[in-house]
Amino acid sequence: MPNATVAARPETAFRLRAASPEDGEAIAALLREAFAPYDGKIQPRPGALSETGASIAAALENGAGSVAEAGGLLVGSVLWHPEGDGFYLGRLAVKPGWQRRGIARALVESAIEAARIARRAQVTLNVRILLPDNVAFFESLGFERAAARPHPGFDHPTYYVMVRRVD
């Protein structure tokens, strides 16, 4: 993925680049910060809160990702890996205080573009049913609900599987 600078206004400028295993600790810290508001509020506990630098580095060695930086600060990240005929997108996070600046959209679009370049048919992700704003965000990017499934140990659906075909 080539580096790209995105700016609607100078104070919102950020740069996208490919994530590397060396980013593992910084991405894990970002995930813990971004997902902290959900701790104790949604069940099961978000898996992103348990990520470590080593687990992120391993994910990047078996897949890929993008990070967003602004002024030397890591402000967003997303990971993906091959799954079936597509990519599975996960661990999308934007640093609190940096949300609603187009960072998440740019990160998801970087994964979609990577899937296009790799000639993958689709990008799939999971999103919690209890987070309707997140569901609506992904729908705004062309993702469609494909299934509603329960996490292990639950007797009712807790997340949607969402799919976006890659043109």
State the Cα–Cα distance between residues 114 and 66, nearest whole angstrom.
10
Q: Is the pLDDT of residue 1 over 50?
A: no
The pLDDT of 122-133, averaged and rounded, is: 96
State the Cα–Cα distance between residues 67 and 50, nearest whole angstrom.
19
Per-domain residue ranges for the chain? 4-165
Look up the CATH superfamily of 4-165. Answer: Gcn5-related N-acetyltransferase (GNAT) (3.40.630.30)
Q: What is the pLDDT of residue 12?
A: 67
Q: pTM of the prediction?
A: 0.91
What SS3 state is found at 67?
Answer: strand
> Which of the four pLDDT bands, split at 50, 70 and 90, describes residue 167?
confident
Q: Which of 67, 44, 116 is nearest to 87 (CA)?
A: 116
Q: What is the pLDDT of residue 7?
A: 47
Place of tokens 């993702």: 143
Q: Give the tens place of pLDDT for each residue, 5-42.
A: 554 455 668 999 999 999 999 999 999 999 999 999 99
Q: Is the pLDDT of residue 70 over 90?
A: yes
Mean predicted lDDT score pLDDT of the chain: 92
Q: Is the pLDDT of residue 123 over 60?
A: yes
DSSP 49: G
Q: Which residues fall within 8 angstroms of residue 46, CB to CB, at 6 or more apart?
A: 35, 38, 39
Percent of the chain predicted with pLDDT > 70: 93
